[in-house]
Chains A and B, each alone.
Chain A
Amino acid sequence: MHTYDLNSPDEPVLLATGLSKQFAGRRVVDDVGLRCQAGQVVGLLGANGAGKTTTLRMCYGFLQPDAGTIRVAGIDRRVDPEAAARRVGVCTQDDTFDTDFTVRGNLEQMSRYFRPRPSGVKARVTALLERFGLHRYANAKPDSLSGGYRRRLMIARALIHAPQLLFLDEPTTGLDPQARLEVWELVDTLRREGLGIVLTTHYMDEAERLSDELLVLREGRVVATGQSQAVLGDLVGEHMLVLDAHDSAAATVCAWARQVGLPEPTRVLSTLHLALDGPGLARFSARFGDLRFEVRPPTLDDLFLKLAEKP
């Protein structure tokens, strides 16, 4: 069970413990814990259906957990959901801005869904439009914006009430590389300003680049937490060995892996990937020294491929 000390004097902006959720009798999140400090980015990783979005939705109050506790800036969501929601900003996976309003109107309208009302709304709207480069489109309808600017609007909208904690659900999905980079820079800046950020992503480079800490989910359960290198070491291994899948010795390598109790090598296009620790690599070299292969450090892509495998 992933539990955290609820009585710690160093109260994080988000502290979730023992979260579980079932849909139609199927448990999609099972005993998940999550902690995010001010000025920290926590990345939720996992294949499709791993429970990332459901976990996020419970944390920001869209869904009620079946079990578990969520505290936002020290406020228990079950005790005072309204106060907790006031401290949270959310950028959903799909665009959920209001298409009946302009870009400026969206920011103004969003501010009306919070009490106490954000102070100096007009000035704050103008400042957010400037900051997110949206001032040129202030009077345009959001559906006329490019993908990158839509995302900027979604994030700006999530910040209208000056929250302490920001949830970003796959913030760069569908964006071109330039727009992705811009969103990354925005996230970086917000982190430096002291905002706690929890994000989900499919992009491994994004997770590695942005996250101070990773939380890896598989079939609704946490399988690893920590910094990316530690997570990789725990879940993938120290070294990633890559060899040609068409090599005549490939079948022998697979048989050897089975024999020594290693997981089956993963086939990626025309290559075979085999995760090994130090002694394992030494044994492999001794057995297949005449084979052409490459050894590299594992990446989050390797982790993702591993997570996508059937357990």
Chain B
Amino acid sequence: MTLHYRAALQWQSRAVLGRHLSVYRRNWHTAALPPLLEPIILLLAFGVGLGGFIPEFAWRGQPVSYLAYLAPGMLAYTAFMTAFFQALFAAYIRMHYQKTWEGQLITQVRLEHVVWGEVLWAATLGTIYALIVTLVLVGFSLTGWLHLYWVNAFLALPLLFLAALAFATLGLLFTAIVPSIDHMNIPFFLVIMPLGFASSTYFPMEGDALWVQAWLFLNPLHHLAEGIRLLLLVGEVNHHLAAACGLFLLMILILVPVDERLLRRRVLGEG
């Protein structure tokens, strides 16, 4: 069992990660544009624009501007969506169309290293994008549009890396099971989009119903969004951060061996 996790630290996984970094470095100027512009546009459109029509927005019984509510949610959403998207679409293209994986598997690199290389890369990219969003939030704070404990956003980056790592393992799970690239819309619109929005990212998820309570208790993205929100708006280290951390570790522990097993069947026809 530990073999699944030991591979994360082996040189072959770093070689695969290095390959992805090397490709990204050559295209960084175009690749960095979406994560830079997207939060600016969203903060202006929803935070400032839509937020202007919501004068009495409350969070945890306290009045707060919608822009301030939105900012931490966007940070969590960015790490989640970037990692998931990278591990689903980009990894699938490398596996199926570009045959990059096959080219790696004829060397000293084994499938467990390819899996970890993909997961580590998706997490790295998710963290880079989260850092870019953080810088945008710092810019909004320094200009007085937002009032955040913005230094805490940098402290949250390790947790965002862990979150991206966990969501990448979820993305790879779908990469392993979708029959073709056309079928990716199914997990994307039935699982990922609903999860992305119903997790206190863009609006508060509240309610006394048992199913709502269960959903919030077990939902790592909800804990991540709420944990970072408390950290940035109140400056408080809170139980949501610990819950998110635990759930992400659990996801990684469970999904890495599952991904590896399913991909072994898909790529090598074994298992």
Contact = CB atoms under 8 A, between A and B. Distances in A.
A112 B19 CA distance: 9
B23 A100 contact: yes
Contacts of A112: 15, 18-19
B103 A96 contact: yes
Contacts of A81: 110
Given A90-B106, A100-B23, 7 more contacts: A60-B106, A85-B107, A92-B106, A98-B98, A100-B98, A110-B107, A158-B106
A94 B99 CA distance: 9
Contact of B269 (A23, A85, A95, A99): A23
B102 A113 contact: no
Chain A facing B: main interface SS: loop
A113 B98 contact: no
Interface size class of B (residues with CB under 8 A): 20 to 34
Interface string A67-107: 00000000000000110011000101011111111000000
B108 A63 contact: no
Nearest to B113: A113
B105 interface: yes
B270 interface: yes
A150 to B, nearest CB: 13
Interface in A94-147: 94-101, 109-110, 112-115
17 contacts: A62-B106, A82-B108, A85-B107, A85-B108, A86-B108, A92-B102, A96-B99, A96-B102, A96-B103, A99-B100, A100-B23, A100-B100, A110-B103, A113-B104, A113-B109, A115-B11, A115-B108
A62 B100 contact: no
Contacts of A99: 98, 100
A62 B19 contact: no
A113 B107 contact: yes
Interface of A: 23, 60-64, 81-82, 85-86, 90, 92, 94-101, 109-110, 112-115, 158
B6 to A, nearest CB: 13
A96 B22 CA distance: 18
Interface in B81-129: 98-100, 102-110
Chain B facing A: main interface SS: helix
A98 B11 contact: no
B270 A98 contact: no
A287 B238 CA distance: 100
Given A62-B105, A82-B108, A114-B108, A95 B19 contact: no
Q: What 6 pairs across the A-B complex have the smallest Cβ distances?
A: A113-B107, A96-B103, A90-B106, A85-B108, A100-B23, A96-B102
Contact of B99 (A63, A95, A113): A95
Contacts of A62: 102, 105-106, 268
B201 interface: no
A98 B108 contact: no
A110 B100 CA distance: 11
B99 A114 contact: no
A63 B268 contact: yes
B12 interface: yes
Task: Give the residue among A95, A100, A115 with the most B Cβ atoms within 10 A.
Answer: A100
Contact of A63 (B18, B22, B109, B270): B270
A90 B15 CA distance: 18
Contacts of B104: 113
Contact of A109 (B22, B106, B108): B22
A113 B108 contact: yes
A281 to B, nearest CB: 46
Contacts of B99: 94-96
Interface in B1-56: 11-12, 15, 18-19, 22-23
